[in-house]
Structure 1
Amino acid sequence: MHISPPAADSAPLRSDAAAPEAGFDLDPAEVRVLGVLIEKSFITPDNYPLSINAITTGCNQLTAREPVMNLSETEVQAAVDRLITRRLASKRDQASARVAKYEHLVRLRHSLPPAEQAVLAILMLRGAQTAGELRQRCERLHRFDDTAAVDAVLEHLAEKYPPLATALPRAPGTKETRHVHLLGGDAAVQEMAEAQSAASGGRGRVAELEDEVRSLRAALETLRHDFDTFRRQFD
């Protein structure tokens, strides 16, 4: 699925968003851009900070992104400008650079160590995930010894003020809790919860069908046994 957020000129800068007590309400483009800035600071440090072109390429990757987006450089620049207003990103002045480059400020503004930055970035880039999925997908950013270490990071993110992550209610038919970031505000969390519920509903129906197949196989085996017993009476 390809998603293109509203045009840049339809989203005015929100000067009050930088207040630490206000919580978060980043739009999808801002979430994606910030996630890319954090991710690339880990996996391509030699090419960091990033130009608008590099950020756009990272935003529109077809792999390791959920959902896949199709942002223009104009939309990315507008999102970067809004993040700067929110004090979540900044422009890095480099004398040798021919184009402007940008970096995230999450590690400074929210005092996040590398492990917490890594988990937050993957949540922003790939949506709701279990601790096990996060451990695997964070491998290039930060290596966790076990899922308990990921759980500890998720707990720390949830205890921040304002909170940066939370656990979704466990959907019917699922065994593990999924976690989401809170940078998109309540509406975004609700949307992710509904998406999880819809997905789990599909998985639940598959499970029902699998149970029916197993029951039919068991019934067929019983019929075969009964028929063999009946036939042996005439041998």
Structure 2
Amino acid sequence: MEPLTLEEARVLGTLMEKARTVPDSYPMTLNALVAGCNQKSARDPVTNLSEAEVQEALDGLKRRSLAFATSGGRVTRWEHNFQRAMVVPEQSAVLLGLLMLRGPQTAGELRIHSERWYRFADISSVEAFLDELRSRTEATGGPLVVQWPRAAGAREARWAHLLCGPVDVAAAEACAEAKAGNGALAARVSALEEEVAELRDLVTDLATQLGLSPPGHQKTDDPT
């Protein structure tokens, strides 16, 4: 199958998610799909796709028989055709959908995040389906996931989907480490700023008790 674009993967994953988590609102209108693609929770990365971009992604998915529009009603609605087109069981479809929406994850994270989609018995069952997806032969379309090497200090290795084409594992890991480092730096800066603010308040309070001008304020002489 022709690799998906990042936009197509986001739209497809959103259709797969909403079909399981909010069946009363499924199939989805274009407006609802745009909102689902761009929601801030359960998405990595967070996107800001326009209606035109989502419609273009839908057209691409329709061309691959991965999604189709339903007739009837005043508004066109869309639904996915992932399991039939890719010939995978429900459990594998759930894992691939989560990987498309949330990025690389460990088997443990996938089990936690899948609660509203499908309840896996344990991590071993998640790993079993991931192994099946990784071991698919070329005759059946080839592997659909790849396992990244376990990062230093990590307890589990992460998995990524291959629906958008081959993954440069080394580059992806370097990017993930840089992202984690930036997050840690931001957290440290925020903690230091809070500590400085607390110290400033403490110094101001002490200065007031001693009858001194707070730091940064000049005490004016009493004209009387």
Q: Tell me, yes or no, if structure 1 residue 163 matches structure 2 residue 139.
A: no
Rounded to whole Å, the distance in 2 between the matches of 1:177 and 1:203 is 20
Aligned pair partner of 1:121 in 86, 89, 97: 97
Partner-residue secondary structure (3-state), 2:166: helix
Q: In the alignment, what sits opposite 2:75?
A: 99
| Structure number, greater radius of gyration | 2
Supply the distance in 2 between the matched residues of 1:175 and 1:54 (Cα, whole angstroms): 38
Native 8 Å contact 1:171 1:196 kept in 2: no
Instruction: Please name the residue that 2:14 is paired with.
Output: 36
Aligned to 1:25, what secondary structure does the other structure show? Answer: coil
- Deviation of 1:191 (Å): 5.2
Deviations 1:214-233 (CA, angstroms, capped at 9, x unpaired): xxxxxxxxxxxxxxxxxxxx
Query: Which of 76, 79, 91 matches 2:54?
Result: 76
Identity %: 43
Distance 2:29 2:10 in 1: 15
Is the Cα–Cα contact under 8 Å of residues 180 and 189 in structure 1 kept in the other structure?
no
Q: 2:175 aligns with which of 177, 191, 195?
A: 195
Q: Does 1:143 align with 2:119?
A: yes
Q: Which letter does structure 2 place at the counterpart of 1:116?
A: S
Q: Deviations over 1:191-217 (max 9, x none)?
A: 533323435667999xxxxxxxxxxxx
**TM-score w.r.t. structure 1 length?**
0.71
- Which of 19, 29, 33 is residue 51 of structure 1 equivalent to? 29
Q: Name structure 1 gaps, 5 residues minimum.
A: 1-19, 206-235
Are 1:176 and 2:152 an aligned pair?
no
Aligned to 1:230: none
Distance in 2, matches of 1:126 and 1:99, equals 29
**Take 2:58 and 2:179, find their aligned partners in 1: how far apart are those partners?**
32
TM-score (norm. length: structure 2): 0.74
Distance 1:204 1:65 in 2: 20
Q: Where does the alignment leave 5 or more consecutive residues of structure 2 unmatched?
A: 186-224
Paired positions, count:
181
Cα deviation for residue 57 of structure 1 reads 0.8
Alignment of 1:214-229 (within 5 A): none
Distance in 2, Cα, partners of 1:163 & 1:124 = 15
Letter of the structure 2 residue corresponding to residue 39 of structure 1: E
Structure with higher RCO (Cα < 8 A, 6+ apart): 1
Give the deviation of 1:46 after TM superposition: 2.0
